[in-house]
Amino acid sequence: MRRWVEVRRGAYHDSVTLMRVSREVGDAAGVSGAMAAMATELNLELLGRMGFEVPAGAGPADLVVAIRADDDPALDAARGTLEELLRSSRERRGGTAAEGVPGAAPPARTTGAAARRRPEAGIALVSVPGPHVVPEAMDALAAGLNVMIFSDNVPLEQEIALKDAAARRGLIVMGPDCGTALVGGAGLGFANAVRPGPVGLVAASGTGAQQVMCLLDAADVGVGHALGVGGRDLSVEVSGRSALAALAALDADPGTELIVLVSKPPAPQVADLVREAARRLVTPVVFAFPGPDDDLTRAVERALKRLGRSVPPWPRWPASRLAPRRGAGGLRGLFSGGTLRDEAAAIITAATGGDPAARGHLLVDFGDDAYTRGRAHPMIDPALRLEAVARHAADPGCGMLLLDVVLGYGADPDPAAALAPAIAAALERRDDLAVTVSLCGTPADPQGRDAQAAALSGAGASVFASNAEAARHAIRWCEGTPGTGEGTEGADD
């Protein structure tokens, strides 16, 4: 076995590019492990867990590349592939097709310059490292553009300053950490392919918005706009600055018949503020604040009834294998969506009397800022979560794995390709382990919801379109309590 590790000082590549390079090199013949990543603390920890010697002195501004191969020829071939992929990435970043063409306009070097060339544009999407967001976003606001900030790790005081600057101009800042938006049918970030329709969303939660949109789509109800506002917007400090502006914008839209406001539980005084603002609108508002007494699925059902639509049975796909006996161990929830994780945690907390950890249950959000510094979101790069799946599945104290899979534009083009084999391998090693998957997507998504569901259920997982139903199924299994007719297989039927 041959191992090679190298640090390249100051050689920056974006995390999505590096994830793709790592995957392609890792798939090469004779290669059993590969990693190309910026040398953040988290990535260096992952490098060590992969069995590589962690280089001394490497920092977040440095590129670290590592390959493990069967022999020297395989290593040399993999290194050649790595260099070609990195070279191609540099060339793509270095210019545009117009550069060097006689008479062609030079590329715009600022957001404001780009806006002047496209006067019909209404939104600028900013996705740069958090500390560098403010100049780009302010430039966009000065050019008269609404701004969607995909970036996370933006200081709170800068978020407030940006939203105040937007308000002075009659604009909206969506974000920071706004992963999902839908404007006039055009998806931004991790948006799903949903039918157009009469519902408008204001969302302080990306995956929460996706769950609502996908359940509405499953009920044959469309969405016209989904305006993300960032996960901190309904905090005491930000006080709903963007949520209030988004509510007013949707209320003024003649195509919006119902507004759904989606958020993790907001600060109580901010919840009162937005509820009072909603009462003054002409358009009715349904609140989706998943917590101890509510969940996103129930909120969607309220929205459907408000529209005079029937509530369908939510899609689910039973596991292909015989489920093990119940009560075999604790639940380990490994999530890529923060709101989906929090919704599941509230359900599990209620089911266990308030202390899940004391009963061996654990839930983790791999999309949290702590896991995404210097690397792609887990909806794009599944490496960290796949490693956690293998680790927890090997723990005899784990009886149930609860996972979410979120589809849509911008996400992993085929998440089941890596996750289904990992599930099948875990279940093959242990006959006392069960797996439940919450699958958030639509049949029209690029990944194809139904094909993903078939692969995951074929690997042995119980798959649910409703995250709340998935969480209830999983905790009932671990706690050994009877089913309540929600379509779980085995002894629940």
Give per-10-residue mean pLDDT for the chain (493 aa): 92 78 89 89 84 88 93 94 88 50 63 86 86 92 94 91 97 93 90 96 95 98 97 96 98 97 94 97 97 94 98 97 70 94 95 89 87 74 90 94 95 93 94 95 97 98 98 91 42 32
| Boundary of a domain, candidates 49, 77, 94 | 94
19: domain CATH number is 3.30.70
* Separation in Å, CA 279 to CA 23, 121, 212, 299: 50, 32, 22, 18
Count of domains forming the chain:
3
415: domain CATH number is 3.40.50.261
Q: Does 148 lie in the same domain as 65?
A: no
Domain membership flag for residue 105? no
pLDDT number for residue 152: 81
Separation between Cα atoms, residue 345 and residue 364, nearest integer Å: 10
Q: Does 137 lie in the same domain as 40?
A: no
Q: Does 148 lie in the same domain as 58?
A: no
Residue ranges making up the domain that contains 12:
2-94
Separation between Cα atoms, residue 66 and residue 426, nearest integer Å: 26
With beta carbons less than 8 A apart as the criterion, state whether 145 and 115 touch.
yes
Q: Does 290 lie in the same domain as 339?
A: no
Q: What residues does 333 pair with on adjacent strands? A: 363, 402
Q: Does 474 lie in the same domain as 444?
A: yes
pLDDT number for residue 90: 74
Q: Does 289 lie in the same domain as 142?
A: yes
Domain membership flag for residue 234? yes
Domain membership flag for residue 103? no
Separation between Cα atoms, residue 172 and residue 193, nearest integer Å: 24
Q: Does 396 lie in the same domain as 336?
A: yes
Q: Does 299 lie in the same domain as 188?
A: yes
Separation between Cα atoms, residue 36 and residue 20, nearest integer Å: 9
349 sits in which H/E element? helix 338-351
**Which stretches of 123-257 are assigned E, i.e. beta strand?**
123-126, 146-149, 173-174, 180-183, 186-189, 199-203, 223-228
**Which stretches of 229-381 are assigned E, i.e. beta strand?**
258-262, 285-288, 316-317, 330-335, 362-365
Q: Tokens at residue 376, please?
A: 């792609």
Q: Does 403 lie in the same domain as 375?
A: yes
Q: Does 70 lie in the same domain as 212?
A: no
Closest CA to 460 of 379, 400, 391: 400
| Boundary of a domain, candidates 75, 94, 113 | 94
Domain membership flag for residue 110? no
pLDDT number for residue 256: 97
pLDDT number for residue 94: 54
Domain membership flag for residue 108? no
Q: Does 377 lie in the same domain as 258?
A: no
| Boundary of a domain, candidates 282, 306, 330 | 306
Domain membership flag for residue 102? no
Q: Tokens at residue 143, please?
A: 């050019």
Q: Residues 6 or more apart from 250 whose CB is under 8 A from it? A: 200, 202, 225, 227, 256, 259, 283
Q: Residues 6 or more apart from 230 whose CB is under 8 A from it? A: 149, 159, 173, 174, 175, 176, 177, 178, 204, 238, 242
* Separation in Å, CA 301 to CA 281, 308, 310, 313, 349: 22, 11, 8, 11, 23
Domain membership flag for residue 407? yes
